[in-house]
Chain A
Amino acid sequence: MIEAFSELFFARYNYWMAIILMLIGLYALIAKQNLVKKIIGLNIFQTAIFLFYISVASVEGGTAPIYLPDGASAVYVNPLPHVLILTAIVVGVSITAVALSLVVRIYEEYGVIDEDELKEAVRGR
């Protein structure tokens, strides 16, 4: 029982962490009323996916692919996911920037950043 649990959880804890983070992010996106907090939730959600990629790439005792002190036979981590996530981070930053600028505009127009109050305000116009 305990072995099965440790096999399921501890041996793959990186995936569990990614899933837990992802759910925290999704929870914030859905349940939080504050528009800025929703964006923070979105960032947590995206970061969880980034960490999932990075943890997949890691190799125990692996070194950076361009730093090979033992020659070509050295064990190194998979560089591709890192490259992909570098791109995805840029995308995430852009999304955050657009989202926050929209929140600024919404606040300027309606004077609220709470979702329920915003719905009232939208209906009122």
Chain B
Amino acid sequence: MTLIDHLPVLLVAGPIVASLLTLVAGWHDRRLCYPIALAAVLGEFAAALVIFRQVMGGGTVRYDVGGWAPPMGIELVIDTFGGFILATIMLLALMTTLYAFRSVTKEIPTEKTVSFYVIFQVLLAGLIGMTITGDVFNLYVFLEISSIAAYTLISATRKPHAYVASYNYLVLGSIAAGFILLGIGNLYVATGTLNMAELAAMLPGSYDLATVHAAFLFLIIGFSIKAAFFPLHLWLPDAYTESPSAVTVLIATVMAKVSVYALFRFLFSVFTLAYITEIYPVTGVVLLIATIAIVAGAILAIAQDDLKRLLAYSSVSQIGYIMFAVGVANQIALEGGLLHILGHAVMKGCLFMVAGLIIYQTGTARLSELGGIARKMPLSCAAFALAGASMIGIPPTIGFMSKYYLVLGAFEAGLWPYAAVLLVGSLLAAAYIWRFIEIAYFGGHHDEHHRTEIREGPASMLAPALGLSLLCLLLGIFVAVPLEAIGLAVAQLLGGA
């Protein structure tokens, strides 16, 4: 076997080794941490791309950890869906790492930067593991690894509020993890296996057991908490608002998307489309809650005065769009949903980066104090405007394409009223994005005199934000590129493969 054959396990082992290396190097010299972290993330990104190419060319990649064949051993499985998510999250992780350098220097106390980069890598290890594992218990372990890392990173600014936000997230996240563990236990009782492919093959024989229904409900509620699916989103606004800017970008894009991915995995790969639509029909309920999430999240966003909190509530609304695809559950809508996973990661990443830049330069994210900021930071605000246009769904951005597919899917399923809600959601998104745009571009000058020193942020922070905002546009124009992988992934999901 060559190195390429071992890539799946290296993807998980890489960040763990990198975190240890960072720790040792940080002992020697604190300045060595960042280059190691950057090199590790670059390597992981390259590995993710190689795996993605392999999956697109030759189908699902399977790897038996330690040479133990499943069901005895743990299997790593990367199918088109997993490869797509892997490439997406590693792209965002790379952008975040580029962005993190200056942001961390300013926001994290110097003596904590070493532990920051160590835990950063552990978080990535957990998230990558969740994406590529083929074993449900293994998924739980990776989920907890990433969660514990996230609880720690959220409180990394060492601001008092951040501790409270982290504590609340820890309590809710642990309840979620407990539910997931219980669900996995029920699945094991019903089938005697923990391998996802075997579960999918054996579960249909036990579909009428109450044990399986209980497992399903525990899992779906657990992952809904982790993915912040309305009304289980209560941890999200504080966690996003209080964490350091780089961490906000990472958990709002990468971590949120991986939780949604795990939910999709269980809904469509472990359980099947037939189970969630016919045997234990939940799609109708999910659709209803998703539409409420879209509207409620957006209305709550409009009411906020803090830019980061506004964007956090916007995330609640956007998760609703992705879950809307589950509710409709046909090929076109799910293509829209997966496209929105990519699109939302890119645009929300950009928006939070700009919010972080503004905090970096002005020290505040209160909208009422940011009047006329666009005159001082034109590039940042332009990036915000472009990503914001994508959030609203203005063609030809990626946000428009994903919503377009969702609406088409809803039409195909004959769900006209629900399609109308999607459009209402877009209007509300326009309202909260416009609030910032209006203040930034047309806001007052009343405190101009003492903020003449405010300039654009450092280039290493600005470049990733601009890159992601351009990506919103490019992905929208060349939407066929991601759709090629997404179409295949959705076909696999719906086929129960």
Contact = CB atoms under 8 A, between A and B. Distances in A.
Nearest to A84: B137
Interface stretch (B23-31, B165-173, B410-418): B165-173
Given A49-B181, A56-B189, A95-B148, A42 B164 contact: no
A94 B164 contact: no
A102 B163 contact: yes
B160 interface: yes
Given A29-B175, A98-B151, A102-B155, A52 B185 contact: yes
A56 B170 contact: no
Contact of A35 (B161, B167, B182, B185): B167
A63 interface: no
A53 B152 CA distance: 29
A113 to B, nearest CB: 10
A65 B112 CA distance: 46
A57 B301 CA distance: 48
A110 B462 CA distance: 36
Interface in B119-139: 137
What bracket does the count of chain A residues touching chain B fall in? 20 to 34
B141 interface: yes
B161 A103 contact: no
Given A98-B152, A105-B155, A122 B161 contact: yes
A97 to B, nearest CB: 9
B174 to A, nearest CB: 5
Contact of B163 (A84, A88, A106): A106
Prevailing SS type, chain A contact patch = helix
Nearest to B158: A105
Interface string A25-52: 0100100000100100010011001001
Contacts of A118: 164
Given A26-B175, A45-B175, A105 B163 contact: yes
A73 interface: no
B164 A95 contact: no
Contacts of A38: 171
Interface string A73-102: 000000011001001100100110011001
B164 A106 contact: yes
Given A49-B181, A87-B141, A95 B170 contact: yes
A115 to B, nearest CB: 10
B175 A95 contact: no
Contacts of B164: 106, 118, 122
A53 B187 CA distance: 11
A35 B168 CA distance: 10
Interface of A: 22, 26, 29, 35, 38, 42, 45-46, 49, 52-53, 56, 80-81, 84, 87-88, 91, 94-95, 98-99, 102-103, 105-106, 109-110, 118, 122, 125
Given A95-B170, A102-B163, A109-B163, 11 more contacts: A46-B178, A49-B182, A56-B185, A81-B185, A87-B137, A87-B141, A91-B141, A102-B155, A102-B167, A105-B155, A106-B164
12 contacts: A42-B171, A46-B178, A49-B181, A56-B185, A81-B188, A88-B181, A95-B144, A95-B148, A98-B170, A99-B167, A99-B171, A102-B163
Interface of B: 137, 140-141, 144, 148, 151-152, 155, 160-161, 163-164, 166-167, 170-171, 174-175, 177-178, 181-182, 185, 188-189
